[in-house]
Amino acid sequence: MRLGKWFLGTSPGRAAFGFVAAQYVRLVNLTTKWRIINARIVPDLVGRGQAVIFVTWHGRLMMVPCAWPGKAPLHLLVSRHGDGEMIARAMSHFGMIMVRGSTHRPERQRDKGGAAAMREMLASLKQGHSVGITPDGPRGPAMRLSAGVVTLARLSGAPIVPVAVCTGRYYTLDSWDRFHFALPFSKGAMVFGEPITIERRIDEVAQEAARRQVEAALMEVTERADRNTGTAAAHAECGTVP
């Protein structure tokens, strides 16, 4: 166990993990019978030259690479800690470009990393590149949308598109986000929500209302995806039941 943990902490170990994880995601994708809802939302926006902010819950991140329909790569925000690095290694096999976000230690370094990531994502959006965010990551609370995604949408003018990618067969990890580890030979659902645009000049009350709107929209697509796969996933963190 210690040897395996040590190996995953090395650069070769993380590279190996990323490669194996990416191949497993491809296996699940190929063996899953997918139902796609609102499939044209992102292609229509991107086709008009519109960059989008692609958001999904951290616990449902695993199969998201299979849902990104754009020809240009998605710029994905990942944290700087070890778990984020392994996620980055896996996602890079799908052509995604990593944006390094905040870290959980120490406080000053986290603030610095978060501000730098915000600037990088804002620059990417203004250059026409779409970005992907798990707005409850990297440490939660689970299914609680942070204000950062609303600020990013407000400053960039880019629409937020909520998305959920779920499989009927999965294993729930004992992690803060109750991560869904998808299993092959299942039925799955990809649900895309209507784009949400945030006005640039709003006060704190309106910003909080916008945050709640986006959070509710992301919960809605997640619950809809669960219903379409016949699962009864728990949403206790937000006090809702699918």
Q: What angle do CA 149, 80, 3 make, to 5 degrees?
A: 140
Q: What is the pTM (predicted TM-score) of this model?
A: 0.87
Q: Which domains does the chain have, with CATH numbers?
A: 2-233 (3.40.1130.10)
CA nearest to 64, candidates 85, 40, 95: 95
Q: CA–CA separation, 192 vs 44, rounded Å?
A: 12
pLDDT classification of 170: cutoffs 50, 70, 90: very high
Question: Residue 114: CA atoms inside 13 Å, Cβ hemisphere, count?
Answer: 19
pLDDT classification of 13: cutoffs 50, 70, 90: confident
* Backbone phi, psi, residue 167, to 5°: -120, 150
Location of structure tokens 């170990």: 13
Average pLDDT of the segment spanning 42-54: 95
More confident residue, 11 or 152: 152
Query: Is pLDDT above 80 for 137?
Result: no
Q: What is the pLDDT of residue 106?
A: 43
Q: What angle do CA 122, 143, 178 make, to 5 degrees?
A: 120
Q: How far is CA 102 from the centre of its chain?
A: 15
Query: Is pLDDT above 70 for 95?
Result: yes
* Backbone phi, psi, residue 49, to 5°: 85, 15
